[in-house]
Amino acid sequence: MKTCEIIDLNVDSLPGIGKIVCLDEVESTQAVARELALEGASEKTLVVANTQTAGKGRLGREWESACGGLYMTLLLTPETDLKFLPDLSVLSGEAVAQTLSALYGIKTRIKKPNDVYALHPRRRKWLKISGVLTESASINKAPNWLLLGIGVNLNNTVALDTAVSVKAIKGAAVPREEFLREFFRVFWLRYAAWEYSSQAKSS
């Protein structure tokens, strides 16, 4: 059995993150983050795990969660109406795609509402490299908290022939923290613009 690399992330190195919860094996980062949200955890708490035993995608589909991948959930409290929340999945997928392109030169495209595909240059196929899952709790038609779950195939071995990892495309492992730093740099800019725009549309 392969031993996962120990997660050791520095909160100061990740833009905008207030607290990091690093775990080895969990049912899902979404489940852990949900418990933290119900316990009153602060916004911008990030849950990251080495592996998930019951990772899920949209519509309850199973998400492969082997060692080497990036599995995370971010706790947010957006100031917006519930009707705008579906836009966050696409926004987050675009941030993942932009990060993959900027860091590794990978050609990407978004499959709405929540998947990111990468072009495998040797196989000449578009294959799934990332998925996004959102979940929210609301009070008076406004979100009380929102969980943004993201899985990215970084260095993990992918069993499905419809999926691919960064390592498979580039031929070498990539640092998880490098991806996270760039992702959150991109994400917060898009998130702020989305929150501002949705507030303007609601007023």
Q: Which long-range contacts (CB under 8 A, 24 or more apart) does 120-124 make?
A: 120/164, 120/168, 120/169, 121/169
- Evaluate whether the domain defined by 11-202 bears CATH number 3.30.930.10: yes
Look at residue 147 and give its three-state secondary structure. strand
**122 pLDDT above the threshold of 50:** yes
**2 pLDDT above the threshold of 60:** no
* Conformation bin of residue 121: beta by default, left when phi > 0, alpha when psi is -120 to 50: alpha
Average pLDDT in the chain: 89
Would you state the pLDDT for residue 140? Answer: 66
Return the percentage of the chain with pLDDT > 90, whole number.
67
Cβ atoms of residues 45 and 67 within 8 Å: no
Would you state the pLDDT for residue 15? Answer: 93
pTM greater than the 0.85 cutoff: yes
Q: Where are the domains of the chain?
A: 11-202
Would you state the pLDDT for residue 42? Answer: 94
Q: Which token pair is 165?
A: 């990892």
pLDDT bin (cut points 50, 70, 90) of residue 59 is: very low
